[in-house]
Amino acid sequence: MSRWEPDAEGRLGKAAITLFAEQGYDETTVAEIAEAAGLTKRTFFRYFSDKREVLFNGSHELAERWIGGIEAAPEDAGPMAAVSVGLDEVAELFADRHAFARLRSRIIAANPELQERELIKLQSLAGAIQAALVDRGVSVNAAILASQASVTVFHVAFAHWVEQDDPAALRRLMDESLEELRSVTAA
Amino acid sequence: MSRWEPDAEGRLGKAAITLFAEQGYDETTVAEIAEAAGLTKRTFFRYFSDKREVLFNGSHELAERWIGGIEAAPEDAGPMAAVSVGLDEVAELFADRHAFARLRSRIIAANPELQERELIKLQSLAGAIQAALVDRGVSVNAAILASQASVTVFHVAFAHWVEQDDPAALRRLMDESLEELRSVTAA
DNA sequence: GATCGAATGTCACTTGGTGTCATCACCCTA
DNA sequence: TAGGGTGATGACACCAAGTGACATTCGATC
């Protein structure tokens, strides 16, 4: 692709994570990140629409995996069952990224701006799931609620996952979260 | 309070909403808002931590009302039942603000930055509800899920409310949303 | 009416973010 | 192999959000 040093985007992402972890998000300027990657501020903004976005690159892949799982679910499965098939894919995706996920989570946890961005990414994920459910014949209202609920379940489980030490625990934590939601709403 | 023209904060808020509605959020600068209110940019940032915040002033009142309802719920009510009592209070709070809520919603809907801020406000609302539930003796996990679910229910119902024409429909829409969530998660 | 404190103004500055144009490295083709 | 095309990068100027430091203004109070 590029004719200079390869993978400008990857270098920028790596430099950003490193600097954020070392000295904090607010204390790191875009100019610094670019310089650490041997590029300029202008180039940073060609790859990332804003400074936060560099931490949310993977969200598209997450959505694709999850949606793929939903589409592959048996036709007669209900909305939550279909969503749960998607969670299998998601758990697999994160299987070897526990350390990275923890680092990234800590950075985000330390900064409200980043939490805002994370929430809107989850919201857009919920929107995609909703559409996938509607495609399966689920009613719009049910799809809204089911997608919101499942994203909440994922979010809660993911937060637990990064704060404990077993990289393989994600799927189990998601199931526990789902079960808890069931018992709470049933009451 | 103030010794100049009274209610600087109120004037800033009013000027902001008006300008945002007229010419859009991005196209309105803080300096413009301040000038319209007969103040300066610096004073704007003394009342509002950033430009978005001027649209989210009421969120504290919403949380207080909802929490008040939860605390007033019968001791033996389950988490979702207690939350639902809070929704009565919330519905009352918005009874005479339908037009304003619609205007504000349209502004927010037109701007992703503002949607981010809205989501984090809802998240903080969920956190407050969670704490109120824990105070009632609900387990932490159940409180997390119940608060998240109830905020989702509120969000969905509110979105419907501002897009239809009956200002008195909020409580009914919230109940419908809640029922939908029950039936979806039960499956 | 001197003084005090809270609210507001002034000013300079940093940083995120953008528009525009120049430049560079490579590829293709004559 | 010279030259032109093309997409990635750099250079530079600029705007607007947000902040820190200090000055000013008004009203209250003694």
Nearest nt to the CA of B42 via C1' is: C9
If asked whether residues A112 and A171 sit together in one domain, one would say: yes
For residue A156, pLDDT over 50 is answered with yes
Shortest distance between the Cα of A183 and any Cα of chain B, in A, equals 8
Mean pLDDT by 10 residues, chain B (187 residues): 77 96 97 96 97 95 97 95 96 95 96 96 96 95 89 94 96 94 80
Range of the domain at B14: 8-54
- Burial class, B147, CB count within 10 angstroms (exposed 0-12 / middle 13-18 / buried 19+): buried
If asked whether residues B40 and B65 sit together in one domain, one would say: no
pLDDT band at residue A1 under the 50/70/90 scheme: very low
Residue A45 resides in a domain: yes
pLDDT digits (tens, 9 = 90+) for A47-91: 999 999 999 998 999 999 999 999 999 999 999 999 999 999 999
Residue A104 resides in a domain: yes
If asked whether residues A142 and A101 sit together in one domain, one would say: yes
Give the CA-to-C1' distance from B28 to C6 in angstroms: 29
If asked whether residues B48 and B63 sit together in one domain, one would say: no
Q: What is the mean pLDDT of residues A93-114?
A: 95
Q: The domain spanning residue A129 has which CATH number?
A: 1.10.357.10
Tell me which residues have their CB below 7 A from strand D.
A 1-4, 8, 34, 38-40, 42-43, 46-47; B 3-4, 28-31, 41-42, 45, 49-52
d(C-alpha A79, C-alpha B24), whole Å: 38
Structure tokens at A161: 């996952």
What is the reported pLDDT for A3?
A: 56
Residue A2 resides in a domain: no
Pick the residue of B114, B117, B145 with the most A CBs within 10 A to test the interface with A by mutation: B145
Q: The domain spanning residue A32 has which CATH number?
A: 1.10.10.60
If asked whether residues B62 and B48 sit together in one domain, one would say: no
pLDDT digits (tens, 9 = 90+) for B24-79: 999 999 999 999 999 999 999 999 999 999 999 999 999 999 999 999 999 999 99
What is the reported pLDDT for B3?
A: 59
For residue A2, pLDDT over 70 is answered with no
What is the reported pLDDT for B182?
A: 87
**B156 contacts A145? CB cut-off 8 A:** yes
Residue B96 resides in a domain: yes
d(C-alpha B49, C-alpha A146), whole Å: 35
What is the reported pLDDT for A6?
A: 81
Tell me which residues have their CB below 7 A from strand C.
A 3-4, 28-31, 41-42, 45, 49-52; B 1-4, 8, 34, 38-43, 46-47
3-state secondary structure chain B: CCCCCCCHHHHHHHHHHHHHHHHCCCCCCHHHHHHHCCCCHHHHHHHCCCHHHHHCCCHHHHHHHHHHHHHHCCCCCCHHHHHHHHHHHHHHHCCCCHHHHHHHHHHHHCCHHHHHHHHHHHHHHHHHHHHHHHHCCCCHHHHHHHHHHHHHHHHHHHHHHHCCCCCCCHHHHHHHHHHHHHHHHHC
Nearest protein residue to nucleotide C6, judged by CA and C1' positions: B2
Question: Model pTM?
Answer: 0.90
A156 in contact with B, Cβ within 8 Å: yes
If asked whether residues A159 and A77 sit together in one domain, one would say: yes
Indicate the average pLDDT of chain A: 93
Rg of chain B in Å (alpha carbons): 18
What is the reported pLDDT for B1?
A: 43
If asked whether residues B49 and B100 sit together in one domain, one would say: no
What is the reported pLDDT for A60?
A: 93
**B145 contacts A184? CB cut-off 8 A:** yes
Q: How many domains does chain A have?
A: 2
Structure tokens at B2: 């103030």
If asked whether residues A172 and A80 sit together in one domain, one would say: yes
If asked whether residues B173 and B150 sit together in one domain, one would say: yes
What is the reported pLDDT for A184?
A: 79
Q: What single-letter DSSP state applies at residue A76?
A: T
d(C-alpha B84, C-alpha B172), whole Å: 12
If asked whether residues B78 and B103 sit together in one domain, one would say: yes
Shortest distance between the Cα of A141 and any Cα of chain B, in A, equals 7
Residue A44 resides in a domain: yes
If asked whether residues A86 and A154 sit together in one domain, one would say: yes
For residue A162, pLDDT over 60 is answered with yes
